[in-house]
Amino acid sequence: MSKLEEKRLSSTEYYKNAFLRIHEDEVLLPNQATAKRIVITHVGAVNVIALTDQKELLLVRQYRYPLGATTIETPAGKLDHGLAPMITAKCELEEETGYTCKSLELIGTFASAPGFTNEVIHHFFAHDLTKLHTAVPGDDDEFTEVLLVTKDQAREMIASGEIVDLKTIYAIQHLTLATLW
């Protein structure tokens, strides 16, 4: 055990479904004391940073029950069992927006909140977009509206608090810093 590592001694599961598990673990600390850790084990997710040929960022507006508010976000979703992240990203882009892409590149995989979950989000850059349809099928319990925004509009939406989703803020910053936008 490294000088910073914690070792699980026991685990109590409180909830489990197809994509997450909530459990409380008792751990042995580096100083040999014990502590409790609440952990959400998650299957992982994808985030799609989709930029049109007109340099507009593809976003979706949807209601987020935990926040009790409508948010504006990049197309994203949990990993589907057995599917590679890139395939899931292509599916999420089409399901949530009605667009597909010719090019999809992994730009990074990041931990979303390592203090309490093992969720990682695979971020993809999509370009050479094609609009397939106007209707957005999505999941049975998912309702979205598609938005196309410019860099200035996106920055203003962050500044005004209209965009609060961290993966979306990351997407906007990535496009700006990588001078893709």
Residue range(s) defining the domain that contains residue 125: 45-177
Examine residue 65 and state whether it is found in any structural domain, yes or no. Answer: yes
Mean pLDDT of 49-72: 95
Domain identity same for 92 and 120: yes
* Interatomic CA distance for residues 103 and 86, integer angstroms: 11
pLDDT tens for 128-167 read 999 987 655 666 777 889 999 999 999 999 999 999 999 9
Q: What is the CATH number of the domain that holds 128?
A: 3.90.79.10
* Interatomic CA distance for residues 38 and 117, integer angstroms: 9
Examine residue 19 and state whether it is found in any structural domain, yes or no. Answer: yes
What is the total count of domains within the chain?
2
| Cβ contact 101:126 at 8 Å | yes
Domain identity same for 19 and 55: no
Domain identity same for 49 and 12: no
The dihedral through the CA atoms of 61, 63, 64, 67 has a sign that is positive
Strand-pairing partners, residue 99, are 131
pLDDT tens for 112-122 read 999 999 999 99
| Cβ contact 9:86 at 8 Å | no
